[in-house]
Each structure stands twice: as C-alpha cells, then as structure tokens.
C-alpha cells in the first residue's frame, strides 16, 4: 500500500520500513484509505490473508496452519516487520502468542509481533491496569480475550460486545459504531483507566482520536498497537498524529 500523501524516495515505497500484516480475513478498501493520513512517511504495508469468514475454533486452526507460509511470502516481497493480526492468538490462550512469534521469526527471519503481544506492551507503556473492553465479536471470543488479558496481569472491568459472528457483518457496520459503543461502555464503567477496542475491522483511526479527546482516557486498538510496535522495532521515532496518545511513547 502506498500512502498518496507520502513522498517516495528514489521511486521506492517503504524506504523506512515495510510492515507485513497477516490478516485473518480480507480487509476492505476503506481500511487502507483510513490508514493513509496517519502513517509516517516512508512506511509501506503489504498484506497476506488467512481467509477466515466465521470465527470458529475450526477456522482458527485452519488459519493458524497457514501463518508460516503467509509470513514467508511477506518476507520474500520485502517485509521488514511482520504482525500476525486478529483474535486468533487470544483464542488459543495465554502464552500462545509467544509460540507464534518464535515459529514465524524462525521461518521469516524478520522481527514479528501479534495482536495480543503488542496490546499487552501498549497497555504497559501507558501504565493501564483497569480497562474497559469493547468488541463487535461473539461473546465467547470476547470471554477468551478477557481471560488472556487477565492472565497477563490486567483487570478487564467491563466488556461491551455486539456479538457478531460473521466477519462480513462486522465489515458492514457504520464507521461511527465503534465510537458510540465505546463511549457507552465507558459511561457504564467510568472508573476504567482506558479503553481497549478489540477487532481490527471496525475502528478507523479517527475514532481513537475522538474518544480520547471526549473521554479523557487512552484508547487502544489492534491495528494501532501493531503499528506502534512496528515503528518501535524499526526505530522510526516520528510522531503519529490523530491516532491516540500511545504514539507519544515512541
């Protein structure tokens, strides 16, 4: 993906670094367009997908079997930092993210993170202990995500879920839905130190920025935390504007 607002040095996109994103399902075009204004110049994104349509244990197992080959393909076309996106490592339980990282780094020969790994690091960077979690996904998926965070040392004091099972239904949500649901969840648990937005498909960057300004607490989202982790790994210190205070910790 080339950022139209970003100069290309010597005709080469990604001259500061190339993110390789392994996505659980095929992202929409709006997903990329919303990232363009907030990515630092010289950062390119290449993707591979695992073709999940409904988040069941069976589909997760099939997708996990394809992660290694997806990572190898991304490394072969220039990815310098790979992120395994999505809820899959959460569903497999505490510690499984480290297993994926070890496995993928061995075959791809580049640095790797996962959604839960980067999320835990981001919560720690902002010193957040008590968090509200908001999600469009099924209740059982959210239950496992909550357990993962609790096993990692955090307190999820409230969960608000839309209980959607099919990825297509999540992609069809109005872009303002994430803002509305997160705002309501925080009102129901105002003692929370921050908000965690699970699922990458429903929350554009501007939602994070508006929520932080309106509610006065940090907001984290899966695409945001893996971008932050990638910039840290690539030693890109440029301030990212309009995507939350997490990037102030770079």
Q: What is the pTM of this model?
A: 0.92
Q: In the chain, what are the domain boundaries?
A: 17-115+224-243, 118-220
Tell which CATH classification among 3.40.50.720, 3.30.300.30, 3.40.50.1860, 2.60.40.10 matches the domain 118-220.
3.40.50.1860
Domain 118-220 in the same topology as domain 17-115+224-243: yes
Give the start-end residues of each E strand in 41-151. 43-49, 81-84, 111-114, 130-137
What's residue 8's pLDDT? 55
User: Are residues 179 and 195 in contact, defined by beta-carbon separation less than 8 angstroms?
Assistant: no
H or E segment and range at residue 20: strand 17-23
Eight-state DSSP code of residue 54? B
Tell which CATH classification among 3.40.50.12500, 2.60.40.1760, 3.40.50.970, 2.40.50.140 matches the domain 17-115+224-243.
3.40.50.12500
CA angle 148, 155, 144 (to 5 degrees): 25
Q: How confident is the prediction along the chain (250 residues), in pLDDT tens digits per residue?
A: 334 444 555 657 899 999 999 999 888 777 778 888 888 989 999 999 998 888 888 999 999 999 999 999 999 999 999 999 988 889 899 999 999 999 999 999 999 999 999 999 999 999 999 999 999 999 999 999 999 999 999 999 999 999 998 888 998 999 899 999 999 999 999 999 999 999 988 988 999 999 999 999 999 999 999 999 999 999 999 889 889 999 999 9
User: Are residues 201 and 34 in contact, defined by beta-carbon separation less than 8 angstroms?
Assistant: no
User: Are residues 51 and 64 in contact, defined by beta-carbon separation less than 8 angstroms?
Assistant: no
């Amino acid at each position: 993906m080339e950022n139209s607002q970003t100069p290309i040095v010597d005709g080469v996109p990604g001259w500061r670094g190339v993110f390789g994103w392994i996505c659980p399902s095929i992202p929409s075009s709006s997903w990329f367009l919303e990232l363009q204004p907030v990515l630092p110049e010289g950062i390119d994104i290449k993707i591979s997908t695992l073709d999940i349509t409904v988040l069941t244990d069976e589909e997760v197992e099939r997708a996990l079997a394809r992660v290694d080959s997806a990572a190898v393909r991304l490394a072969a076309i220039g990815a310098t930092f790979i992120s395994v996106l999505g809820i899959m490592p959460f569903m497999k339980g505490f510690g499984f993210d480290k297993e994926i990282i070890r496995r993928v780094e061995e075959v791809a020969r580049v640095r790797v993170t996962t959604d839960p790994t980067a999320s835990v690091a981001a919560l720690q960077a902002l010193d957040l202990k008590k968090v509200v979690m908001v999600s469009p996904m099924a209740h059982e998926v959210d239950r496992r995500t909550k357990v993962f965070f609790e096993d990692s040392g955090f307190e999820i004091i409230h969960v608000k879920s839309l209980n959607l099972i099919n990825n297509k239904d999540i992609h069809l949500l109005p872009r303002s839905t994430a803002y509305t649901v997160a705002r309501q969840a925080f009102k129901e648990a105002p003692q929370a130190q921050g908000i965690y937005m699970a699922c990458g498909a429903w929350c554009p960057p501007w939602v994070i920025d508006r929520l932080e300004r309106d509610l006065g607490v940090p907001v984290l989202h899966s695409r945001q935390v893996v971008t932050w982790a990638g910039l840290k790994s690539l030693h890109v210190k440029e301030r990212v504007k309009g995507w939350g205070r997490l990037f102030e910790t770079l």
